[in-house]
Amino acid sequence: MSRFADSWRSHLLTTLSGKHDGRPAWVGKIELGDDLGFFGPDSASWAVHGGMATMVAGIRALLMQTLHPGAMAGVHDWSRYHEDPLGRLSGTIQWLVTVTFADTALAELESSRVARFHDRVAGTYLDAQGVEKPYRAGDPELLSWVHVVFTDAFLACETVWGSPIPGGADQYVREWTKAGELVGVPNPPRSERELRAQLEDFRAAGVLKSDERVAEAVRFIRNPPLRRSMIPFYRIMFAGAVASLPAEYRRMLGLRKPSWPAIWATGVVLNLVRGLLGSSSSSEDAARTRIARLDAAAAAAAAAAAAAN
């Protein structure tokens, strides 16, 4: 049983980070830097993005993202998610984790990398009314949609499966405004109420669309290329993500709420993963190492100043 657990843990870490020890090379940069970062150990963002519920939040966010035909066109035309789905996932994780845990300079640098990639992503798509429109990944509407669905997914999943958020939902949404601003999101929501309103505005305006391209993406998200031993656990988390969605979005995605207790079962899986991986991430550990170094340097400087006086 121990060998199975070790093997499963190694594969899970490789899936999430690209490294069998769960520490990709870019995590080492999080230990560097000269400030606390945009958030910090007591922040809502650390609590939400350092929790196990992020595994389900990623699934929910990807499902929701497909409903905007412009965003779906960018993924379809430019993403290599069929050939390298884990590579695409790891790129998103790198940005999310870096902005959350790194110092401000590195967070800004990583966000500029994402923005440069967005500059190259362009094409045309048919909107919900069948009109052909041009798109760029950096278009304000597309940036807003991706930011809103990601914020909504991480907040909702932490609320369902995580611990109480420091400062509550409003604090998390307000903090994560900074991440949106770093990649050019215009007017990101600053409260849970604004988040819900912006999400509803997309739906009420008739911007969202469900078609065969969405159905193809949903099929892929439902059945990604994972090791056979991981598939039952992933399917439970997928069902949990579906169960957590509002009914109107499930209908658009062609999904049904599971008839079995998927929310409870997903909690069991997340607790199992927590037992295998531990309660803290390598990125959070790296950030705490940086902060401890800065605190020690500040204490030494204060002591030296006191001694000089």
Q: Of 103, 99, 109, which is closest to residue 33 (Cα–Cα)?
A: 103
**d(Cα 240, Cα 213) in Å, to the nearest integer?**
23
Domain that holds residue 178: 2-296
Q: For 110-158, write each residue's pLDDT tens digit.
A: 999 888 777 777 888 888 888 888 888 788 899 999 999 999 999 999 9
**d(Cα 239, Cα 255) in Å, to the nearest integer?**
10
Q: How many domains does the chain have?
A: 1
Q: Of 252, 253, 248, which is closest to residue 238 (Cα–Cα)?
A: 253
Contacts of 71 (CB under 8 A, 6+ apart): 65, 142, 145, 146
Q: Can you give the pLDDT at residue 12?
A: 54
Residue at 129 is within a domain: yes
Residue at 46 is within a domain: yes
Tell me how far CA of residue 220 lies from CA of 59, 64, 85, 148, 153, in angstroms.
Answer: 11, 14, 9, 22, 19
Residue at 307 is within a domain: no
Q: What is the DSSP letter of 260?
A: S
Residue at 90 is within a domain: yes
Residue at 233 is within a domain: yes
Q: Which string of b and e fits 226-258 if b means at least 16 CB within 10 Å?
A: beeeeeebbbbbbbbbbbbbeeebbebbebeeb
Tokens of 68: 């905007």
Residue at 306 is within a domain: no
The answer to whether the predicted template modeling score (pTM) of the entire model surpasses 0.85 is: yes
Residue at 304 is within a domain: no
Helix (H) or strand (E) holding 126: strand 122-126
Residue at 305 is within a domain: no
Weakly modelled stretches of the chain, pLDDT under 70: 1-23, 78-90, 278-280
Tell me how far CA of residue 130 lies from CA of 124, 136, 210, 211, 215, in angstroms.
Answer: 12, 18, 12, 11, 17
Contacts for 94-100 with beta carbons within 8 Å, 24 or more apart?
94/24, 94/26, 96/49, 96/179, 97/27, 97/30, 97/49, 97/281, 97/283, 98/26, 98/29, 98/30, 99/38, 99/178, 99/179, 99/182, 100/37, 100/39, 100/45, 100/46, 100/49, 100/50, 100/179, 100/283
Contacts of 296 (CB under 8 A, 6+ apart): none
Backbone φ and ψ of 122, nearest 5°: -155, 160
**d(Cα 10, Cα 15) in Å, to the nearest integer?**
9
